[in-house]
Amino acid sequence: MAKQPADRPKRVTMTDVARRAGVSQPTVSFVLNDRRDVAVAAETRRRVLEAAAELNFVPNRAAQQLRSNRSFTIGVVTNGIVSQPYAGLIVLGIQQVVQPADYVCMVVDTTDDPEEGDAAVASLLAQGVGAILYASPSPKPLHQSPRLDGIRTIFVNCWPETGKADTVLLADEYAGGRAAAAAVFDRGHRAVAFLGGPRNDYACKERRRGFADAARAAGLRPTDLLHRYGTYQIGSGYDLATEAVAEHGSTALVCGNDRMAIGALLALHDLGLDCPKDVSIVGFDDQPDVADQVRPRLTTAALPHLMLGRRAGELVLAGPDDAPERVVVDCQLIERDSVGDPPRRTSRPRRRS
């Protein structure tokens, strides 16, 4: 005779919690659903929460959603973010905040095709999400689906091409660029080169503005300093750094990102120079497992991807009332080993043969 399967353990209900706490079931519902519009004594609230913890009570979110017409699911639409080495911290930050509140993130990674993005949003809306968060690995405008009427929409590290979002969260690229440049100007460097990414890239333009203001604060004219533009890649940093140091005698390089800074380090090696003894280098991003692992360890402005995600999660939990239209998160300067005093050099170096 086949053995009968064991009975499933009985699901703990609000009635069980009420019995343990010595209160009514509606009181348990008011406490566990955080109904602040209903007066519940502090001692009663404490007993309910302790009883729920002792019984390992797990809320039935599906039933709650039906009763309250409230969704506990968030749709996150990204464009290439899951394949980036550090931008995925945005999604991690969102999850760190909303998951303890029993929310679930549904992440959909799309291409640049607007139709694919619209289809992704339609799929998320069909799942009954309570909010849509667009997230990008780099700051840029993104296509916003026209099907979002009435749905709360937050853009993280991006903004809508057309229309308006409820809230846009961005890193303070300008202040980060200014802090990165000030790191070398404050050490006395005057032959400073700005080695940026693509000239018309939003982040590059904001960081260049910060560089210019840091130069003015140091008593220099930005137009007198070397500006070169590349691709945010290691090879680009190598080529631009070689030109800046070998042809223009630059003693400090403010690079568009950490990858370009690594290229600059390689260029100095081929020129027979040392960082920071001969040339100082500043990066941007504080890329995990890179900026603090190279030698010398990079001084760099940190992109706050994790904090951007956390702030977005906090906005979702706080609700739409009085939500700010724009949130700017600081890019902290991380000082390590790649910046020193200007060298006493009388001749320009030449590349090793």
Residue span(s) of the chain under CATH 3.40.50.2300 come to: 73-165, 173-302
Q: Let me know the angle formed at the C-alpha of 190 by 292 and 210, rounded to the nearest 5 degrees.
A: 65
Strand pairing of 152-160 and 252-255?
unpaired
pLDDT on residue 8 = 47
Give the residues of the chain that fall short of pLDDT 50: 1-6, 8, 62-63, 65-69
Question: Comparing C-alpha atoms, which of 268, 257, 276 is closest to residue 342?
Answer: 276
Sign of the Cα torsion 252, 258, 260, 263 reads positive
- CATH class of residue range 73-165: alpha beta
What digits encode the pLDDT tens for the residues 85-97?
677 899 999 999 9
pLDDT number for residue 42: 85
Q: Radius of gyration of the chain from Cα atoms?
A: 27
The topology (CATH level 3) of 173-302 is Rossmann fold (3.40.50)
Both structure tokens of 105: 């993130």
